[in-house]
Structure 1
Amino acid sequence: MLSLNVTNETSRLRAVVLGTAVSNGDVPSIEEAYDPKSIEHIKAGTYPDEADMIKEMEAVNNVFSKYDVKVFRPKIIENYNQIFARDIAFVIDNKFIKANILPDREQELDALQHVIDQINPTDIVKPPEAVHIEGGDVMLWNDYIFIGTYKGEDYPDHITARTNLEGVQFIKALFPNKIVKEFDLAKSKTEARDNALHLDCCFQPVGKDKGIIYKDGFRAESDYMYLVDLFGADNLFYITRDEMYNMNSNVFSIDEHIVISEEKFVRLNTWLRSKDFIVEEVPYAEISKQEGLLRCSTMPLVRD
C-alpha cells in the first residue's frame, strides 16, 4: 500500500507520478486546444515534437532517480496527451482527490489505475459533479491550502477557468482544520501572457519561507498582498509578464533545498542559488509550449 502524505510543496519527496509524452498524438487542431499558448504554437507551426518532449521528461526522471524518488508513470494511451499529471488528481495530507476534469481527459485518470489500486480506498475522494478543481490550482503550505479560482460571472465561458467556488467550498469542508484561502486569477482565452491557467502559473512556494510570484496573475491586489504579507516582501522572487508566460513559477521542489528548474530561467536560477538552493536544471521549453511546466507534469504522492 502507498501511505500518502503531502502537506506542503517542499518537504522531501519520496514518491511521485510523472506524466508521459509517449504516444502524445498528432498536433491538435485549434478547436481541440485548451489554452491560448498551445493555440499560439499551433498557429505558428512551432507546436512541440513528441521526441523532444520525451527527452525533456526523461531529464526530470533522471533527477528523480538521482535523489532516490519512487516514480510512477501513467499507462500509455495511444495518441493521447498524458503529460500534465497534476491536472487530474492531487494529494492533500493522506487523501487522493480526483479532479472533475474536462470530459475529454477522463481517460488520463484511468491510466493511473495501477497507482490508485495501491491507495487505501477510504483515502480516495471523488468530488460531486458541480465541483471543479484541478491540482494546478491547489497549493499546500502546512496549515494553509491556497486555491486558485476565477470569480468572474463569465466562468462557464472560460475553458481556462478550471476551479470554481464550489471547488473551494468542497476543500474547506473536507479539511476543516486548515486555513483555506482562494485567489481570483486573471484569465484570457486569447493572450497567454495574461492567462494564469492555474495558481502555479503565478505563484509557488520554495524552501521553508520563500516563493515565486507574479503580481498581475491576480485579479485583486488584496490577494497578491495576502501572499506578500504572509511570506514577507524580501522572501519573494518577482517575475515579469514574459517570465510568467515562460512558466518561471512552475518549478518543482524535491526538498527544502533542491529545486528542479528550466535551464533557461537564468534570472530565477541565479536568485535561487543566491539563497543557497541546489538548482537541478533541465530542458523543458518544448513542454512549456502547452502552458504547463514542471509542477504541472508531476503529482507528489509522498513527502516526508
Structure 2
Amino acid sequence: MLKLNVNNETSRLKAVVLGIAKSNGPVPKIEECYDPKSIEHVKAGTYPKEEDMILEMDAFAAILEKYGVKVYRPEVIKDCNQIFSRDIAFVIEDKIIRANILPNREEEIRAIDYIWNQIEPDKRIILPKECHAEGGDVMPWNDYIFVGTYSGDDYSDYITARTNMDAVIALQELFPDKMVKSFELRKSNADAKENALHLDCCFQPIGTNKAILHKNGFLIEREYQWLVDFFGKENIFEITKEEMYNMNSNVFSISETVIVSERNFTRLNTWLRQQGFTVEEVPYAEIAKQEGLLRCSTMPLIRD
C-alpha cells in the first residue's frame, strides 16, 4: 500500500505523479480548448507539438530522478491530453482527493487507477458532485490550506473557473485542524493575461517562508494583502503580468532548497539563486502554451 504524506509545497519530495505527453492527440479545435492561452496558440498556428512536449517532460523527469524521487506516470490514453496531472487529484496529509473536473476530462482520472488502488480505501476521498476543485487551486501550507476560488454568480459562464465555495467548505470539513483560506481569482475566458486559471498561476510558496506572487491575479486586494503580510514583503518575488502569462509562479519545489524552473525565467531564476536556492532549469516553454507549467504537471504523493 502507498502511504501518502503531503503537508506543504516544499518538504523533501519522495514520490510524485508526473503527467505524460505521449499520444496527446491532434491540435484541438477552439471550442475544445479549456483556457484562453491554448485558444490563442490554436488560432496562431503555434500550438505545441507532441514530440517537443515529450522532450520537455523527459527533461523534467530526469531532474526528479536525479534527486531520487520515485516518478509515477499515468497510463497512456490514446489522443488524450494527460500533461496536467495536478488537475485530476491532490494529496493533503495522508488522503488523496479526487478532483471533480471538467466532465470531458473524466478519463484522465482512470489513467491513475493503478495508483489510486494502492491507497487504503478510507484515504481515498471523492468529493460530492456539487464540489468543484482542481489541484492547481489547492495548496497545503502546514497549518493552512490555501484555495483559489471564484464565487461570482456567473461562475458557470467561466470555463476557467475550476474551484467553487462548496469545495472550500468540504475541505474545511475534511481537515478540521487546518485553516482553509480561500482567495477569489480573476477569471477571463478570452484574455490569458487577465486570467488566473488556478491559484498556482499567480501565487506559490517556496522555501520555508518565501513566495512568488502576482497582484492582478487576485480579485480582492485585501486577500492579496493578507498573503503579503503573511510572508512579509521582503520575502516575496512579485511577478509582472507578462511573467504571470508565461507562468513564472508555476515552478516546482523538490525540497526547501531545490526548485525546478523554466530556463527562460531569467529574472526569477536570478532572484532565487540570490536567495540561496539551487535552481534546476528545464525547457518547458512549449507546455506553457497550454496555460500550465511545472507545478501543473505534477501531483506529489509523498513529501518527508
TM-score higher than 0.5: yes
Count of aligned pairs between the two proteins: 304
Matched with 2:124 is 124
Matched with 1:63 is 63
Once the two structures are superposed, what CA deviation does each residue of 1:216-253 show, in whole Å capped at 9, x if it has no partner? 00000011001000000000000000000000000000
Matched with 2:85 is 85
Distance 1:237 1:78 in 2: 40
Matched with 1:48 is 48
Matched with 2:74 is 74
Instruction: Say which SS state the counterpart of residue 280 (structure 2) adopts.
Output: strand
Distance 1:276 1:12 in 2: 16
Matched with 1:150 is 150
Report the CA distance between 1:35 and its aligned residue. 0.3
Instruction: Say which SS state the counterpart of residue 242 (structure 1) adopts.
Output: helix
Distance 1:176 1:108 in 2: 30
Instruction: Say which SS state the counterpart of residue 280 (structure 1) adopts.
Output: strand
Report the CA distance between 1:117 and its aligned residue. 1.4
Distance 1:110 1:191 in 2: 32
Distance 2:222 2:151 in 1: 14
Give 1:97-246 correspondences, 5 Å limit: 97-246=97-246
What RMSD in Å do the two structures reach over aligned CA positions? 0.4
Matched, 1:19 2:32: no
Q: Residue 240 of structure 1 aligns to which amino acid in structure 2?
A: T
Where structure 2 has 5 or more consecutive residues not aligned to the other structure, the ranges are none
Once the two structures are superposed, what CA deviation does each residue of 1:233-276 show, in whole Å capped at 9, x if it has no partner? 00000000000000000000000000000000000000000000
Distance 1:80 1:23 in 2: 6
Where structure 1 has 5 or more consecutive residues not aligned to the other structure, the ranges are none
Distance 1:273 1:151 in 2: 38
Distance 1:75 1:180 in 2: 33
Structure-2-length-normalised TM-score: 1.00
Give 1:245-260 correspondences, 5 Å limit: 245-260=245-260
Matched with 1:38 is 38
Distance 2:65 2:176 in 1: 36
Report the CA distance between 1:105 and its aligned residue. 0.4
Instruction: Say which SS state the counterpart of residue 129 (structure 2) adopts.
Output: coil
Distance 1:98 1:274 in 2: 38
Once the two structures are superposed, what CA deviation does each residue of 1:182-208 show, in whole Å capped at 9, x if it has no partner? 000000000000100000000000000
Distance 1:2 1:15 in 2: 10
Report the CA distance between 1:38 and its aligned residue. 0.1
Report the CA distance between 1:151 and its aligned residue. 1.8
Distance 2:301 2:193 in 1: 31
Distance 1:121 1:152 in 2: 35
Runs of 4+ in 1 over 4 A off after TM superposition: none
Q: Residue 92 of structure 2 aligns to which amino acid in structure 1?
A: I
Distance 1:17 1:165 in 2: 27
Distance 1:11 1:253 in 2: 8
